[in-house]
Amino acid sequence: MKKKNLLQIVIAILVLVSVGLGVFAYLDVEIWHYSYEPSGDFYNIAVCFAGSGAYSRAFSFSTKAGSTYWDKCVVQIDPAEKEENVPSFRDRDNFIIEAKSCENATIHIEPRVIVHFAHTVELKADTKYFYRVGRPKGNLWSRWGYFITDDGDDSFTFMHITDSQAEGDAEYEAFAATLSKAFVEAPETEFILSTGDQVEFPFQSYWDKFFACIDDIVKITTFAAVNGNHEITTDTMQANFYVPTESDMYCYAYEYGDCLFMIIDTNYLSRDPSNYNDQLRYLANIMEHSTKKWRVIAAHKSPFSTGTHATNIDVLGFKDAIVPFAAQHNIDLVLSGHDHIYYRSFPVDGQGERASVAEVRQVQVGEYNATAYINPQGAIYVENRCIGTKFYNKVHSLNDHLLEKTDPHKIRIPMYSVVKIEGSKLIYTAYEHDRDTDTVSIYDCFEIIKN
């Protein structure tokens, strides 16, 4: 063989090897960056609202203290079509949100953790977004989840739950069973609104169990949380459900569909209604700039309860603050928890009495004979029975004249409610979940119609 031909063959081989190595290197980078086994280093992952249900979200997650994750974590977002079932974290339209870090502010009787938080206001309406959190260096990532942004129309459904607080594994499993059943029965649910007491104690181990037991659900929705008396502090809530807010309390608002949702922190221990002045001024300013047709307030403590906390000075203080505020600002619905029993008021005016209603009629919702209020001149107050395992008795009758539906005694059946807003109609349906038979039935249903 001639030397010239031999040299050409060698050069060709070298070129092929070089190209092969280049392709391998490219693929290796792709594999390094996108193919991964989920790491258990990232946990307690939550997606919350950050103002607009269509264009923004907030994220929080934890890693153990002493790890090398401080200010080195991100949230990776993959925009997708709604019919897509798995993410593609190699797409060019993926983007990264840098996460900030801080030390967890829960009560420190357990090992400390690092909390990471981030938010974005650059999402698109009516879009499915896959996400994962982690540290790009080292290709360390969590399991992926997804959420879908608000499509901006005037029809949507959300779920109201409260008082999931649990102490042991059996209680957590019971809560998870009911929430899972709720999502099976109401797959149209677009987000969860929880009116407080997510955990029994604000220690890290309780938060870890809370997130672990409903991880599969939290990963596929947005969670709007209220600060309960068992969470105690704003810092504790921000460590687990981060929301960007200007308030020192865990007070925030978000818009979804044609509704403005306002979250109030009721962790005051006195009857002085002026405690709420800062929060109510903050929310009044938001309402002044909102054009939404519907207005919903969510808080933990329950103004018109007939349960064990009904006459507590802190509950009465919230009642003194919220009743005139709700009437003044044309609030449609006030949701709460705290007493672990169900009640639903007539429309209530600013003096705490039954408000006028243009018309009241009975309508069929499935097989249930529901009450429809047409153009009520006051807010309807609803306290859900707990979705957990702690059930309380009805022990006070001071508010009975304002209540159209209430638990007459201790009922040991957990509850979740599905709320649907369709244009000028709001439909609230409270469901009981019998865990022994795994069956669901309507306990109460009402409508508000605004012409």
In tens digits, the chain (451 residues) has pLDDT values of 444 454 454 444 444 444 344 433 333 333 334 467 999 999 999 999 999 999 999 999 999 887 789 999 999 999 999 999 999 998 899 999 999 999 876 555 566 789 999 999 999 999 999 999 999 999 999 999 999 999 999 999 999 999 999 989 999 999 999 999 999 999 999 999 999 999 999 888 899 999 999 999 999 999 999 999 999 889 899 999 999 987 889 999 999 999 999 999 999 999 999 999 999 999 999 999 999 999 999 999 999 999 999 999 999 999 999 999 999 999 999 999 999 999 999 999 999 999 999 999 999 988 899 999 999 999 999 999 999 999 999 999 999 999 999 999 999 999 999 999 999 999 999 999 999 999 999 999 999 999 8
Place of tokens 């659900």: 217
* Claim to verify: residue 293 and residue 332 sit in the same structural domain: yes
Q: Which of 98, 130, 148 is the endpoint of a domain?
A: 148
For residue 111, the model assigns a pLDDT of 64
* Claim to verify: residue 239 and residue 341 sit in the same structural domain: yes
Angle at 272 between CA 269 and CA 278, to 5 degrees: 95
* Claim to verify: residue 138 and residue 170 sit in the same structural domain: no
**CATH number of the domain within which 243 lies:** 3.60.21.10
Extended strands (E) in 162-293: 191-194, 222-225, 252-256, 259-263
* Claim to verify: residue 113 and residue 237 sit in the same structural domain: no
What total of structural domains would you count in the chain?
A: 2
* Claim to verify: residue 363 and residue 383 sit in the same structural domain: yes
How far, in Å, CA of 13 to CA of 126, rounded?
A: 52
Amino acid type, 413: I
Strands 380-383 and 333-336: parallel
* Claim to verify: residue 84 and residue 217 sit in the same structural domain: no
For residue 65, the model assigns a pLDDT of 80
Q: Which of 133, 148, 163 is the endpoint of a domain?
A: 148
SS3 content of the chain, % helix, strand, coil (to 5): 25, 35, 45
* Claim to verify: residue 133 and residue 221 sit in the same structural domain: no
Domain encompassing residue 132: 43-148
**CATH number of the domain within which 102 lies:** 2.60.40.380
Asked if 207 and 106 touch (Cβ cutoff 8 Å), the reply is yes
* Claim to verify: residue 251 and residue 138 sit in the same structural domain: no
For residue 27, the model assigns a pLDDT of 35
Q: Which of 148, 173, 204 is the endpoint of a domain?
A: 148
* Claim to verify: residue 162 and residue 309 sit in the same structural domain: yes
* Claim to verify: residue 405 and residue 319 sit in the same structural domain: yes
SS3 13: helix
* Claim to verify: residue 98 and residue 160 sit in the same structural domain: no
For residue 206, the model assigns a pLDDT of 93
For residue 366, the model assigns a pLDDT of 83
* Claim to verify: residue 309 and residue 193 sit in the same structural domain: yes
255 in a structural domain: yes
For residue 35, the model assigns a pLDDT of 62
Judged on CB neighbours under 10 Å (0-12, 13-18, 19+), 229 is middle
How far, in Å, CA of 171 to CA of 152, rounded?
A: 37
Verdict on whether the full-model pTM lies above 0.85? yes
